[in-house]
A and B are shown apart, each in its own frame.
Chain A
Amino acid sequence: MTVSNGGDADKKLVAAAKINPDAFAGIVDRYWNRLFGFVRRISYFSQEDIEDILQEVFVKVYRYLNGYDDSMAFSTWIYQITRNTVIDQIRKRKARPISIQLETEELLQMLRCGLDIKKELETSDLLEKVKKIIFGLPANYREVLILRFLEEKDYGEIMDILELPKGTVASLINRGRKMMLEEAKKQKIV
């Protein structure tokens, strides 16, 4: 079951899933791909691992359905649970998320949006430099920039997903952008 409109559709699906677990399939269908991409962007896990993590995420979401309240969007809430589950998994596996998986277009999009570059970037010769810039960012800055420029979340949503005050989120984004800009200047991209 796929529902195309936003928050209202989520609310209906949540209400239905509370009564009938089969209705929960609608939520899984709606969010599976988005969350798959999100986990891939913020972690180093393989495809199989991500699928396992997402199964765990959705079972948790089902279990916690009564804990969801309307003070945030359902999509924000599910991102929050996903992020926390990924962090738990990283801790469990006692490994550091050193090499996140961003595709070439995602790397360029982050740089373009982060530095507000209007022109198209020539990928062939710049790719290594862009990789160096994005992967060189501290993990917390990179995560917030991924949420802002790739997941296209607003400050309020990022605040809820990361469970940080809005001021801290704004400060992380600003500092992250500055770091990118400084590095981009060093690499002579801008």
Chain B
Amino acid sequence: MRRDKQEAQAQFNRRSLLLSGLGAGAFAALGARMYGLQVLEQDAYRLLSEQNQFNFRLQPPARGRLLDRFGEPLAENRESYRLMIVRDQAGDPRAALERLSRYMPLSEARIERILRAVSRTSRFTPVTVAEDLDWETFARINLHLPDLPGITPDVGEVRTYPRPYDFAHVTGYVQAAPPEAANDDPLLLHPGFRIGRTGAELQHEDRLRGSAGQLKVEVNATGRVMREIPEQSIPSVPGQDVTLTLDARAQRTAMEALGDQSAAAVGIDVITGEILVLASTPSFDPNAFVLGIGQEAFAALNNNPYRPLFNKATTGLYAPASTVKVMSSLAALEHGVVDPDETIYCGGHTRLGNRNFHCWRREGHGRVNLHEALKGSCDVYYYEMAHRLGIERYNEMLESCGLGQFFEIGLPYPRRAEGLVPGPAWKRSRRNEPWTTGDTYNVGIGQGALLSSPLQLAVMTARIATGRRVMPTLSRMEGAQPDFGPMGWTDEHINLVRQAMSGVVNEPGGSAYWPLGTRGIDLEGLEMAGKTGTSQVYSITTEERAAGVRDQDDLPWRLRNHGLFVSYAPVAAPRYAVTVVIEHGGGGTRAAVPAQAILRDLVRRDPSNTRPDMFASAARPVTEG
């Protein structure tokens, strides 16, 4: 019995020892595993730990401003009071938004839209609930923030266009990047970040955008930011300001002068080629696009027959009509097909074969020389000029003046707007018909298939006014002014044309003398020259004439003629060229009035870029009548 006991004790000790060994082995395994994790693999785990601990929050850059030539902002940023929702903190986002709707109006549709956006993003990504809140609402919500879990107030920046309608077609607008363009660029996906979608905003996107910064933050396991670490962050680089050549005040003058007509105006500094005015009416409010324009409002803009979204100044195409007579005169003189004193009889029409080609003045101009013809815009004279020149030489002059040419001015075009200078080759390829003298007659008075943009006509005027190959631009050039090469015209010829253009405005019988000189419009201090044009949209038929339709005003708006006016000033030392097109405006004389207003404003403006020797008259103060 005693030995059994001893034997049992010994067996117990043996087995205890065995278990101790097992236990020691198990502890050694724990130690080895710990060594592996904490010593051998510590670097890998330290990295993972830091990835857990730290996060980088995108810091969107402030967008550069768009400025006019004098530094007046056309597009800038302002503070926007925003509300964001973070799903992780909100719990039930719908309940959170419904609680929020007690403090600010939130329609059911809007809640639905926000919820869709929330469900598409990660739990920790803030989604915009409302932007651009007024201070009162924002303050009220901040006060009730403890009752609104998941709602975060935030002060962001939003693009704003201080004079919205005046520059809409030049500045364009910014909007959130379309999903397909955003790809995986975190900046483009950032809520509230917008990129240029049209106009200069799009053209200069790279310079305006700047680059995003990264704010290093410590986050906890639920993604909540515990601490910001600015010293280890990369600050965002704000975008650069972009200065455009526009003169904001002159642009406003243009917009006011064009009023609610469907029209366009272009103003160019003929020495530098800088575009000072680029106006298209009616316009739209680009601010509406920034915060997301509703479908209805967009449809209204899109379906408006005056086409407010369309930049008529650069892309609107019109028959240049009688404004071509400036070029036609010069070409005739240059090629020696006419003597300036030679007179041609205008009896109101001329015959070509069995066709009658009318002059706009039914009773005719009588015998006119070049000066008289241009001043009075005699069609019969210019049928003859075009005929004498022939279509090739005629077109050559038009093209060298800028018609049919594409000008890269620093604005994205929705489509290339070269217009059209038709010739025999074009007619052959288009209609498979030979070019006729009748076609030359038509093109000779700026009708037919001839098409040009207001910008092209402004360039043409600038080239006539200076005799140099002026190139238009919207991007301000620093320092040296461009040196445009000479057109190669004879001074004597160009002076004859300019004198006739002055006569249009300043001499009795001039086609713009009547509206400008006699209608109480004070031309004092404004020495301008110009040329009218009436672009035919619809021929009044004999039947209509018989039924009493006598005048353009009797026609429906969309059938009335376009009114064109090209001009420059001062006459002695041309500095500014202005072109105005009034769609369906009835006649060229109606375009002359706004052109005069714009020119006056440009001339009166302090021409800080003007060489004093060239332009003493412009510095003279002008009293308004």
Q: Is B one of A's binding partners?
A: no
